[in-house]
Amino acid sequence: MKGLDFNLPKAKLSLPGLDRWLPEVQMRWRQGRRQFDARLPNERRLLIIAVLALIWFVFDTFMITPAFEQLKAARSREQQAVTGRDALQNEINRKRIELANRLLAAEKERELVRKRLADGEQELAKQQSMMAPAREMQALLEGLLVQNGQLKLKAMRTLPPTEVKFQPPAGMENATPVLFSHGLEVSVAGGYLDLVGWLRSVEQLPRRLLWDGMTLSANEDAQLVLTLEVHTFSPDRDTLEIAP
């Protein structure tokens, strides 16, 4: 290290108290330089290495290591954020797939309900075409009485229409009724065989009438009186009117 000028700059500084401690510093610097120059080259190299190691230790302790730890923490936070983002995206995708499956299942269920309704309407129309229309019941019954001149119509009255109960499809429990049972109560007087023949003619009509609630009695003239309830089905809810 000989030949190098390690003297402090001689520029004038205006620091407070500089003229008191500057000479002391210069003196200690010269003493240290002489001691350093007096050592063997190997010792001076070791000292230089030791000083550099000390500088590196201080630099690493207070700058490099904290900066590296901060960088590592930042990368860890970034990785956690990416992991959380990926998990959230996976959850969103799962919800989307689940929603799409539910919508598809609901659409299939609606199509099934529509098909059931269409099949039911077709079957209902088929059965209804085989039944006598509600408004023709009176004319049909009176026509059968005319064919059998031995019978006498004693009374005929309408029965209030009643809703025909079906098992509704799921989700359509409050649907509007689509079919009603309309009935007539008929009382006919005559001989036993004539009454039986009239009943058979009712059963053999091309378009059927359902009958039930049959009672047989005798009136004051010793005639048999057959009281019968006949029914048919119609989508019309209005009560039947009997022509006088």
Which tens digits make up the pLDDT trace of 64-101? 888 888 888 888 888 888 888 999 999 999 999 999 99
The helix or strand, by DSSP H or E, that contains position 63, with its residue range, turns out to be none
Average pLDDT of the chain? 77
pLDDT computed for residue 130 by the predictor? 66
Asked if 185 and 153 touch (Cβ cutoff 8 Å), the reply is no
3-state helix, strand, coil in the chain (%, to 5): 55, 20, 25
Asked whether the whole model's pTM tops 0.75, one would answer no
pLDDT computed for residue 17 by the predictor? 61
Pick the range with the lowest mean pLDDT from 127-136, 150-159, 168-177, 187-196.
168-177
Q: Burial code of 201-228, b = ≥16 C-beta within 10 A, e = fewer?
A: bbeeeeebbebeeeeeeeeeeeeebbeb
Q: What is the DSSP letter of 35?
A: H
- Whole-angstrom distance, CA of residue 239 vs CA of residue 198: 26
Residue matched to tokens 């590296």 = 68
- Whole-angstrom distance, CA of residue 148 vs CA of residue 145: 5
- Whole-angstrom distance, CA of residue 228 vs CA of residue 222: 19
Higher pLDDT, 84 or 121: 84
pLDDT computed for residue 6 by the predictor? 43
